[in-house]
Amino acid sequence: MSLRTSYALIAPFYDWVVGPALANARRKSLTRLPSAGRSRILINGIGTGLDLPLLTPAHRYTALDLTRGMLARALPRATGLDVQWVQGDSQRLPFREAAFDHVLLHLILAIVPDTRLALLEAARVTRSGGHLFILDKFLRRGESAPLRRLLNPLARRIATRTDVVFEDALAGVDDLRVIDDQPAFAGGWFRLITLEKLARQDAPGSSSSSRRGQVNQTMPTSSATATAASIRYHINPLIAPNPLL
């Protein structure tokens, strides 16, 4: 089953499964967003929009998800926010380099097939000095976690991977550095990780130039909050549709 198909089926039940368990961790994670100024923030993997009621209206948001079913459920939760809606793949983001000040990655890096590629893409679209705010479940290097590793072949086919080692995924992403890493839930399996995007001259061999042209490099324009009935008109028309989606 493809990830897109799986989450189209999961969308009606997602809030019931994920919402209450991670509510406190989600709130704590969002306190890392800047409280002042007007930042351009990408919500990479918006899901059903559980983050939206907790966000300040001060910023300009772009909400991306792979499936239209998830986006449709997120739309009603964006009341009072400046949100641009985009259906797209976290591993092939349809934005130009440095398009955003910060990127929010809640429960997406352990879902996508290639965590490192998703990190590379998130770094590419973040300006130098910007941050990636991560909330997700990761194993640590050398951690045995036999049950989680045993469940992974089945879990990854349905919804998520349970064997992702964050440090391995980050290896080779030269233009990101960890500035904070703390446990969030389930005995530290879920972690709050903050990464900073380094300036190109400061990165020890940045590979961002090799990724140019990988995706359509068009910055989304601002739009009013969409409604579920008109979602197709709020997918940015300037972004070329991806035939793989």
Tokens of 4: 């897109």
For residue 229, give Cα distances in angstroms to 71, 76, 107.
Answer: 11, 10, 26
Residue 243 pLDDT: 36
The amino acid that residue 203 corresponds to is: A
Q: Give the pLDDT band of residue 26 (cuts 50, 70, 90).
A: very high
The whole-angstrom separation of Cα 186 and Cα 153 is 21
Does residue 228 carry a pLDDT above 60? no
Q: What is the pLDDT of residues 82-109, one digit of tens each?
A: 999 999 999 999 999 999 999 999 999 9
What is the C-alpha R_g of the chain? 17
Lowest mean pLDDT among 26-30, 156-160, 192-196: 156-160
- The number of CA neighbours under 13 Å toward the Cβ of 9 is 9
- Between 207 and 63, the higher pLDDT residue: 63
In the block, residue with structure tokens 């300009």: 60
What is the 3-state composition of the chain as percent helix, strand, coil, each rounded to the nearest 5? 30, 25, 45
Q: Where are any strands of DSSP class E within the chain?
A: 40-44, 60-65, 82-87, 100-106, 126-137, 176-185, 190-197
Mean pLDDT on 14-19 = 75
According to the model, what pLDDT value does residue 207 have? 47
Q: Which residues contact 152 (CB under 8 A, 6 or more apart)?
A: 161, 162, 163
**Biggest alpha carbon–alpha carbon distance for the chain:** 48
Q: For 44-68, what is the mean pLDDT?
A: 96
- Residue 151, pLDDT > 60, answer yes
Tokens of 34: 């800047």
Please choose, from the candidates 88, 104, 131, 74, the residue with its C-alpha nearest in 3D space to the C-alpha of residue 218.
88
Please, which residues bridge with residue 230 across strands? none
Average pLDDT over residues 41-52: 96
What one-letter code names the amino acid at 130?
Answer: G
Q: What percent of the chain has pLDDT over 70?
A: 69
Q: Where are the domains of the chain?
A: 3-233
CATH architecture under which domain 3-233 falls: 3-Layer(aba) Sandwich (3.40)
Percentage of the chain beyond pLDDT 90 is 57
pLDDT in tens, 106-136: 999 998 999 999 999 999 999 999 999 999 9
pLDDT score, position 12: 73
Least confident of 4-8, 27-31, 43-47, 112-116: 4-8
Sign of CA dihedral 66, 45, 204, 165: negative
The pLDDT, as a whole number, for residue 68 is: 92
Tell me the mean pLDDT in the region 15-24: 83
**For the ranges 45-49, 66-70, 215-219, which has the lowest average pLDDT?**
215-219
Pairwise CA distance, residues 24 & 92, whole Å: 30
The SS3 assignment for 91 reads coil
pLDDT tens-digit map of 173-210: 999 999 999 999 888 889 999 999 999 767 766 444 43
> Given the structure tokens 């909050």, which residue do they identify?
225
